[in-house]
Amino acid sequence: MYTGLQHLHSGIAYLALLALIVVIIYALIGSLSGREFTEKDRKIAMIAFIFSHVQLLVGLILYFVSPVGFSLLTGGGAMSDSTARLTALEHPLINIIAIILISVGYIRSKKIAASRGKFRSIYMMYAIGLVLILSRIPWNSWLN
């Protein structure tokens, strides 16, 4: 089960990152071109929103099932080891903050009346979330 969750978490990560990049570029182009925000634009933003939330859900399940997740914090010594600190604290905490920012961008875009403001809310908050996510990916273990 643990290995399957790891593979699922890694696989969804590719989809979530790709969706975030596509939505950011799409919303930026929409904002700069001055076109109207349509239902299609909302659905495209929702795809990245859903992928990022599913990724968070799988990650949280993996965190509590994993022998190297939550148990590192309770066993002590995780703060002195940078790899253990990334796994036990930084990766989950920063990614939760990133998903919150993505959620704020999506929800705010639904409440804004102007199309440019809707696009801006999406591309700014999604981009900040993406940068946070990219900053805390455990690249050494992910790319192996």
Q: Domain locations in the chain?
A: 2-142
| Phi and psi torsions of 47, nearest 5° | -60, -45
Q: Kindly report, residue by residue over 88-139, the tens digit of the pLDDT.
A: 888 999 999 999 999 999 999 999 999 999 999 999 999 999 999 999 988 7
**pLDDT given for residue 53 in this prediction:** 98
What predicted TM-score, i.e. pTM, was given to this entire model? Answer: 0.90
Average pLDDT, the chain: 90
Structure token digits, residue 6? 């790891």
**pLDDT given for residue 89 in this prediction:** 84
Coarse DSSP helix, strand, coil percentages of the chain, rounded to the nearest 5 percent:
85, 0, 15
DSSP tag of 138: -
Q: Kindly report, residue by residue over 109-120, the tens digit of the pLDDT.
A: 999 999 999 999
Nearest CA-CA partner of 142 in 79, 93, 94, 86 = 86
Find all residues with CB under 8 Å of 135, minimum gap 6, and list them: 94
**pLDDT given for residue 143 in this prediction:** 60
